[in-house]
């Protein structure tokens, strides 16, 4: 059972069959609604009261309500990015909202002390400063000299504050008891050996087994970090329920052993975050033209690291590793994406809950903007926009156990919505044609471009 959201500062909202249209706060009329459930678009009017969706009808009128003309426009649910890191949320949160990201999931990070997590939650729950709702895991459960503290060295990694170094399985019991007292979605467990050479050791299997066993005692699930088939197998054998990366995994439908493992995994009703943007971020230093995209905030173009020869050389190393992993003969973006999208489509068809996430906060992976890049990668790989949107809305809300309040535009849910000037079902790129962002029924201030 998913961990209850006991810390969110809004109640579970109940659907109603009728509404007093004279008491609405906001009406979006005559809009093409893509509600996030996978249903086709329909032209309706939306009534909002006290931050929730009170009416979805062919026509609504109210003398007191503010109105937005949705004629020729398209309304989608507020977007989720389910893999975000930030060391400066005061800067990143307005950027996320600018791009229609009204909810995020943070699976640990170098800044993530309990105090920092609390500050982010509080910022997300207020209505005066643009900020997404914040869901998060515990700090990383890892080991000293492993990923991420070894592969991404930083003074921010502090044992007992931003990361927990596991030394023996007896210690695990104490640590799980400790983090269970905080408002977390589950435990972040890092199995991965690193993104590129030189690789570090993976966490031993017995630690994986112990963490999931202890977490279950508190009704918590584990969100594991894996990046290849070996680590996927370790996670499944260890009882892990959710994965926060897909990049690096290869699905072989002709391999009976892997198919049996996946069937075992599926019985847990797992959620699996995509993070295809990791591959594109590795390619960024070789493509300075990508920074000229008019949809990218100018700040991003100026803040990225200088594209030095060293960065370009590192990119080539990453690409060589990825090409070997995927068995590719060319390094185009489409060559990287098609096999992965095909695998994710297969998993989705088999009943896995696939969820959009970017790993925003790492090099060339931008808060808010890169979620749209993530969606574009799926379209490049051949997935339909309606299915892509569902991964970034309702599927994501379900992973957070927030589907009663978030993830779709339905009566009784919180009014987190994005109004677009162009049809995202014609091209997912049109999710960047943002007219208005609404969070909890309030029109959000967007950044100047």
The CATH number covering residue 233 comes to 3.20.20.140
Task: Determine the Cα angle at 123 with ends 51 and 272, to 5°.
Answer: 85
291 & 210 share domain: yes
Residue 290 lies in a domain: yes
The pLDDT, as a whole number, for residue 308 is 83
Tell me, yes or no, whether 430 lies in a domain.
Answer: yes
* Total number of domains constituting the chain: 2
Q: Are residues 315 and 416 in the same domain?
A: no
Q: Output the pTM of the full model.
A: 0.93
Q: Do both 141 and 30 map to the same domain?
A: no
Residues 432, 416 share a domain: yes
Nearest CA-CA partner of 175 in 201, 213, 147: 213
Give the three-class secondary structure for 202: coil
Residue 10 lies in a domain: no
pLDDT score for 223: 98
The answer to whether residues 162 and 304 belong to one domain is yes
Tell whether 419 and 394 lie within a shared domain: no
106 and 68 inside one domain? no
Range of the domain at 25: 21-76+411-443
CA–CA separation, 171 and 185 (whole Å): 21
Instruction: Name the β-bridge partners of 80.
Output: 103
- Residue 49 and residue 112 in one domain: no
Task: Judge whether 426 lies within some domain.
Answer: yes
Judge if 323 and 362 occupy the same domain: yes
Q: What is the pLDDT of residue 326?
A: 82
Per-residue pLDDT of the chain (449 residues; tens, 9 = 90+): 444 343 444 333 333 334 445 689 999 999 999 999 988 999 999 999 999 999 999 999 887 789 999 999 999 999 999 999 999 999 999 999 999 999 999 999 999 999 999 999 999 999 889 999 999 999 999 999 999 999 999 999 999 999 999 999 999 999 999 999 999 999 999 999 987 778 899 999 999 999 999 999 999 999 999 999 999 999 999 999 999 999 989 999 999 999 999 999 999 999 999 999 999 998 999 898 899 899 999 999 888 767 788 888 888 888 888 888 788 888 899 999 999 999 999 999 999 999 999 999 988 999 999 999 999 999 999 999 999 999 999 999 999 999 999 999 999 999 999 999 999 999 999 999 999 999 999 999 999 86
* Assigned domain for 201 exists: yes
Q: 292 with 306, same domain? A: yes
* 139 and 124 belong to one structural domain: yes
Quick one: tokens of 53?
A: 């969706």
Query: So what's the pLDDT on residue 18?
Result: 40
The answer to whether residues 13 and 408 touch, using CB atoms and an 8 Å cutoff, is no
Residue 231 lies in a domain: yes
Residue 35 is part of a domain; what is its CATH number?
Answer: 2.30.40.10
CA neighbours within 13 Å on the CB side: how many for 264?
15
- Say yes or no: 434 and 350 in one domain: no
Q: How far apart are CA 231 and CA 193, in angstroms?
A: 9
Q: Which residue has the tokens 């960047």?
A: 432
User: Is 170 among the domain residues?
Assistant: yes
Residue 8 within a domain = no
- Kindly list the distances between the CA atom of residue 36 and the CA atoms of 350, 362, 388, 395, 424, in Å, as whole numbers in the listed order: 20, 28, 10, 9, 12
């Amino acid at each position: 059972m998913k961990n209850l959201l006991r810390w969110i500062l809004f109640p579970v909202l109940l659907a109603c069959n009728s509404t007093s249209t004279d008491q609405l706060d906001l009406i979006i009329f005559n809009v093409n609604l893509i509600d996030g459930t996978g249903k086709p678009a329909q032209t309706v009017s939306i009534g909002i009261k006290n931050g929730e969706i009170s009416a979805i009808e062919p026509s609504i009128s109210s003398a007191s309500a503010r109105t937005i003309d949705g004629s020729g426009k398209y309304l989608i649910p507020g977007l989720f990015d389910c893999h975000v890191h930030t060391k400066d949320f005061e800067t990143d949160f307005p950027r996320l909202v600018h791009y229609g990201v009204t909810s995020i999931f943070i699976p640990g990070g170098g800044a993530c002390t309990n105090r920092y997590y609390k500050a982010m939650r509080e910022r997300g729950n207020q209505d005066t400063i643009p900020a997404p709702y914040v869901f998060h895991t515990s700090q990383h459960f890892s080991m000293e000299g492993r990923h991420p503290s070894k592969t991404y060295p930083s003074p921010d990694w502090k044992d007992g504050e931003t990361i927990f170094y596991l030394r023996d399985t007896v210690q695990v019991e104490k640590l799980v008891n400790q983090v269970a007292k905080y408002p977390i979605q589950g435990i972040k467990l890092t199995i991965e050996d690193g993104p590129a050479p030189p690789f570090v050791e993976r966490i031993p299997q017995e630690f994986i087994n112990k963490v999931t066993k202890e977490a279950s005692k508190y009704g918590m699930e584990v969100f594991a970090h894996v990046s290849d088939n070996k680590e996927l197998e370790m996670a499944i054998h260890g009882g892990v329920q959710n994965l926060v990366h897909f990049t690096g995994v290869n699905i072989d439908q002709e391999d009976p052993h892997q198919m049996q493992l996946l069937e075992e995994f599926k019985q847990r009703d797992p959620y699996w975050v995509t993070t295809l943007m990791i591959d594109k971020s590795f390619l960024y230093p070789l493509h300075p033209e990508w920074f000229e995209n008019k949809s990218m905030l100018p700040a991003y173009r100026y803040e990225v690291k200088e594209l030095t020869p060293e960065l370009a050389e590192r990119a080539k190393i990453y690409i060589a590793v990825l090409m070997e992993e995927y068995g590719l003969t060319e390094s185009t973006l489409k060559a990287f994406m098609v096999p992965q999208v095909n695998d994710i489509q297969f998993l989705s068809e088999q009943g896995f809950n696939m969820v959009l996430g970017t790993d925003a906060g790492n090099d060339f992976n931008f808060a808010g903007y890169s979620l749209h890049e993530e969606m574009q990668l799926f379209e490049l790989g051949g997935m339909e926009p309606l299915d892509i949107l569902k991964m970034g809305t309702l599927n994501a809300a379900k992973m957070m156990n927030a589907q009663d309040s978030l993830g779709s535009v339905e009566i009784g849910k919180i009014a987190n919505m994005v109004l677009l000037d162009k049809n995202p079902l014609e091209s997912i790129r049109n999710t960047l044609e943002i007219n208005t962002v609404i969070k909890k029924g309030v029109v959000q201030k967007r950044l100047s471009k």
